[in-house]
Amino acid sequence: MEFMPTGIPGLVRFRPTPHRDERGFFSRTFDAEVARDAGVDPDSFVQDSMSRSALGVVRALHLRVGRGEAKLVRCSHGRIFDVVVDLRPGSPTYGRWESFDLDGDTQESIYIPAGCAHGFQALTDPADTSYRIDREHDPSEALTIAWDDPELAIPWPLPPTVMSEADRAALPMSQLRDRLGDVQATHHP
């Protein structure tokens, strides 16, 4: 397994080397030593979660204010268009987003630092997305940014098919400036 930095500081892409044969493949999806080498504390994770999404589903741009939430995200089955937006005050890449095609064949994952919003769209039916999260969920700190925010202008690959009511009702960043000011640049477990 290797890691690669991205254009957003602290956002790291992990690329495993699946062993393939006539049975299929075997892949290491997490390696604590590689995570440490990439600057990620492997002992910080406290929850593993998974979502299953139908083709075209958009799970909007979710963020935790306050101390934030770092996560390691991987598409374990199918394929997703994954988006990360840097919303850490003072970051040289504040407001910038990057996208990744994650899929079950390569088992690549991305580490998303606290203070970054995250969302994705399912490109297959189904698409299973696995999350390793460094804090327990606290709904009072949840913030969702509109998937079609004109300031971000993210080119989602498909028209959205299904979305939660909360994601559909999410506001653009221009209307969330006061809450975005509550994002802290660093995470303190």
**Whole-angstrom distance, CA of residue 132 vs CA of residue 45:** 6
| Active-site choice (77, 94, 118, 131) | 131
Indicate the SS3 state at residue 77.
strand
Kindly report whether the peptide bond that precedes residue 126 is cis, defined as omega within 30 degrees of 0. yes
| Active-site choice (62, 111, 118, 187) | 62
- Helix H or strand E encompassing 57: none
- Verify whether residue 131 is a known catalytic residue: yes
- Verify whether residue 118 is a known catalytic residue: no
Residue partners of 125: CB distance under 8 A and separation at least 6:
54, 55, 78
Supply the residues annotated as catalytic.
62, 131
